[in-house]
Structure 1
Amino acid sequence: MTGLGADFRRLWLSSAVSNLGDGVRLTALPLLAAAVTRDPVAVAVVSVAAELPWLLVSLPAGALADRVDRRRLMVAVQLVRMCLAALLTATVLADRSSIAVLCAVVFLLGIGEVVYDAAAPTILPRIVPREQLTRGNARLFGVELGANEFAGPPLGGLLFRLGQAVPFVLDAVSFAASAALLSRLRGTFRPAGAADAPRAGVVRAIGEGFGWLWRHPVIRALSVVVTFMNLARAMTMAVFVLYALETLDLSAVGYGVLSSAVAVGAVAGSWAAERIRPAAAGPCLVAAVLGHGLTTVAMGATSNPWAAGASSAGFGFATMTWSVLTAAVRQTIVPDRLLGRISSVHRFLSWGSLPLGSLLGGVLAAAYGLRVPFAAGGAAVVLAALVAAPTLLGVSALLAGPGGAGGAGEAGGVSGSGS
């Protein structure tokens, strides 16, 4: 963290503890659902409930984030999520777990996540210099994936074996710790010009963000491509616990360890992405999307846990490379007053595909077997990479030009957006 400052350390620690709790919960929830039922569609419905808020709440959440102090909004959301995690703990302890109850709780947690993530991408450009954005993103994405998908999953599986409620206790504590760290960030985090600008209606404000994103060819391409990537990811994750327990014949702890393999590749990807020169960004983005699709297909094709783990690690490397580079692109060129809305429109398009992907994955697995969602999802991502390659290659000129990461482009300033 040398050179990035004390506030960055607080932001980094907040992300670390919060994502550790997320990783524990996101491993424990499928195990809890699988303890209730082994029906692939029913298990997938829990994933749909968790992801549906991205489709329903993303756009108004972005408008909200462009009207209020984003740090205070994030602190408030973390405290609400702490209460929801405590409620889930009480539900499990009372032996009242059911698919309906799990869907209700994860839906509310999902709403909190959407609001939090609408504000979160705007924080980094306020606390680090513009030339450090790629480095800062790499560190944040690295700890996010490391905690969420490396440390969290095996810990979640282990804690679940100790007691079904134990993982959710840790999740509640992680939200509280994250809120405390965020509250110590110094400075103002209100949108630039928010106090002087006329207050537009919510629908008009959302439309302005949507129109800006869709008129920018590179930002539009990034959103469309990642929509296919998330669709494929949701198709596989909806049945991943059944794939691990039945196809790979793993235990609950083994499932957690396999889930963490993606973070091994992600940590390596964050290290590599930090060192990618602007001129190489375009080809690296194309390679990352192709890697995402091909490793998804490879995972579904094997019955060997070691091969599945290697594919998962490759997937993590590709995904991390994509995430770091695309975040730097958006933080470079998006105006501060549109940060929340552009982030939320981007997530509405990309993460809004998650409920559809989860449902589609469950249906395909029930009808044709657990391997089919991997093959279909991976093939769709490879096709998207080939179609979008000419536009993605243009990112190199965008970052290397006078308005890029090393310049002072009109839209970006020191307060860009990323997601």
Structure 2
Amino acid sequence: MAATRPGRLPGRHRRSPESQATYSEVIAIGEFRALWVGQCLSLLGDQLAQVALALLVFERTRSPLATAAVYALTYLPPIVGGPLLAGLADRYARRQVMIVCDIVRALLIGLMAIPSMPFPVLCALVFCVVLLSSPFTAARAALLPEILEGDRYVAGSALQNMTNQAVQMLGFAAGAGVIATIGAYRGLALDAVTFVASALILAVGLRRRPPPDPEDGVHTSIWATTKAGARLVFGDRRLRMLVLFAWLCGFYVLPEGIAVPYAATLSHDPREITLITGLLMAAMPTGTVLGAFAFSRFVTPTRRLRAMGWMAMLSCAPLIGCVMRPPLAVVLGLWILAGIGGAYQLAANAAFVQCVPANRRGQAFGLVQSGLLAAQGIGILIGGAAAQVLGPEPVVALAGAGGLSVAALLAMLWTESRAEIITRVRTQVT
């Protein structure tokens, strides 16, 4: 029976828990390719939209706070509805949830592309689009372990992470030039097209699966499901630690939210500011691509877990160097190094999957993702307000110092839970 489960490659032998899956193994699985390509398409469109919105707001207001506030709007909706909507991924077929979310988001972004759309309405549409990302992300995260088993899940996650970061790198670096050529509203229209393409790819590439079996055979209310998911995630010491590691990104993502005003400190030419903004926004994704590749290909599963604390500290420490107001080349190097440290999220994600029951993964992943986006949004909003007073460089340095302090504390506490999860990895047979 195990040989027929989705994600299991026929004819493969059982292997050591420390053996590492290859990228060719996961790419050979058609359902993974559908998730992978669809996500890359929609993410590329999103990066164009984020650049367009950030530049549009800064051109109108010249305000770091206003720019950060609109950028934060792409992170904050999960605070309101994310934990509730994520439970849809455990109530309905996950393929269906993803397709419906893509179609609705395409329609909403199509409305955003209308040039006469009032700015407050535009912000409300952004809010709704991001809100729908919660059930979509929860469904995709819950479905991936069903498609990829064992260390193939880590390899697939790393491959997704690297390509997502590469797409962000391309979207941010080239997106500024594209937006400068076609305009902000056409960029939004292109984003809508990518969601339509993603829905079609998922519809064709994923096989139909029944909805997950409910707990105790009965579907509870959405509110009750949300409370049960919160008890599961925050009532387990191991899961609490992994969630806190995930939410640490609220510190090291802050520089992206104030990239435009940071670029304005390095140049006074509007065109140069646009290009520098793209480079700054691409720096951390570049580092994450490098870190994810090295972490997944050259580090064994148990060593990944042991290195999590050090990598988490690396994700924040380089940002402290921005307090010296270094030139652009040095800033890019510091941000790339921080992105390399962010690859620790691969180990945290894989450990989280091992500790959560399959029929509750949607709600659990949704809660974590919602908190993660909320932490990023709040961090960016606070950073924008602080940059208004202190300037972008010291604010980035303060974010690095605060994140390093929290990461060091988490690294010490993690040693209590790490041994238990490493034992799970060593006894796992894939």
Specify if TM > 0.5: yes
CA distance in 1 between partners of 2:391 and 2:200 (Å): 45
Alignment partner of 2:130 out of 90, 102, 110: 110
TM-score (norm 1): 0.89
1:215 positional shift: 2.1
Residues 312 and 203 (structure 1), Cα distance of their counterparts in 2 relative to 1, 3 Å cut: same
| Preserved CA contact (<8 Å) 2:79 2:370 | yes
1:127 positional shift: 1.3
Q: What residue is the counterpart of 1:160 in the other structure?
A: 179
| Preserved CA contact (<8 Å) 2:245 2:348 | no
Residues 184 and 9 (structure 1), Cα distance of their counterparts in 2 relative to 1, 3 Å cut: same
- 5 Å-filtered alignment, 1:215-364, equals 215-230=235-250, 232-233=251-252, 235-247=254-266, 250-275=272-297, 276-299=299-322, 301-319=324-342, 321-364=343-386
1:68 positional shift: 0.5
Q: Percent identity?
A: 22
Q: Structure 2 stretches of 5 or more lacking a match?
A: 1-22
Any idea what SS the aligned residue of 1:51 has? Answer: coil
Which has the larger displacement, 195-204 or 217-226?
A: 195-204
| Preserved CA contact (<8 Å) 1:248 1:303 | no
Alignment partner of 2:399 out of 363, 377, 381: 377
Deviations 1:380-402 (A, max 9, x none): 2111112111333456534532x
TM-score (norm 2): 0.87
Which has the larger displacement, 220-229 or 308-317?
A: 220-229
Residues 188 and 130 (structure 1), Cα distance of their counterparts in 2 relative to 1, 3 Å cut: farther
Q: What residue is the counterpart of 2:100 in the other structure?
A: 76
Q: Is 2:35 aligned against 1:11?
A: yes
Q: What residue is the counterpart of 2:16 in the other structure?
A: none
Alignment partner of 2:156 out of 136, 140, 145: 136
Any idea what SS the aligned residue of 1:274 has? Answer: helix
CA distance in 2 between partners of 1:208 and 1:264 (Å): 38
1:310 positional shift: 0.9
Count of matched residue positions in the alignment of Structure 1 and Structure 2 = 401
CA distance in 1 between partners of 2:62 and 2:389 (Å): 15
Q: What residue is the counterpart of 1:61 in the other structure?
A: 85
Which has the larger displacement, 44-53 or 10-19?
A: 44-53
Q: What residue is the counterpart of 2:49 in the other structure?
A: 25
CA distance in 1 between partners of 2:259 and 2:339 (Å): 15
Q: What residue is the counterpart of 2:76 in the other structure?
A: 52
Over the aligned positions, Cα root-mean-square deviation in angstroms equals: 2.2
Q: Structure 1 stretches of 5 or more lacking a match?
A: 409-413, 415-419
| Preserved CA contact (<8 Å) 2:266 2:328 | no
CA distance in 1 between partners of 2:150 and 2:273 (Å): 46
CA distance in 1 between partners of 2:175 and 2:398 (Å): 29
| Preserved CA contact (<8 Å) 1:22 1:171 | yes
1:234 positional shift: 5.2
| Preserved CA contact (<8 Å) 1:18 1:178 | yes
| Preserved CA contact (<8 Å) 2:310 2:411 | no
Alignment partner of 1:147 out of 167, 176, 180: 167
CA distance in 2 between partners of 1:267 and 1:291 (Å): 15
CA distance in 2 between partners of 1:161 and 1:405 (Å): 52
Deviations 1:15-52 (A, max 9, x none): 22111112222222101111221122222221232222
| Preserved CA contact (<8 Å) 1:54 1:114 | yes
| Preserved CA contact (<8 Å) 2:89 2:362 | yes
Deviations 1:273-314 (A, max 9, x none): 213212312332112211111122224543411111111211
Residues 374 and 260 (structure 1), Cα distance of their counterparts in 2 relative to 1, 3 Å cut: same
CA distance in 2 between partners of 1:11 and 1:348 (Å): 20
| Preserved CA contact (<8 Å) 1:279 1:396 | no
CA distance in 2 between partners of 1:137 and 1:395 (Å): 22
| Preserved CA contact (<8 Å) 2:98 2:139 | yes
CA distance in 2 between partners of 1:373 and 1:151 (Å): 26
Any idea what SS the aligned residue of 1:23 has? Answer: helix
| Preserved CA contact (<8 Å) 1:234 1:361 | no
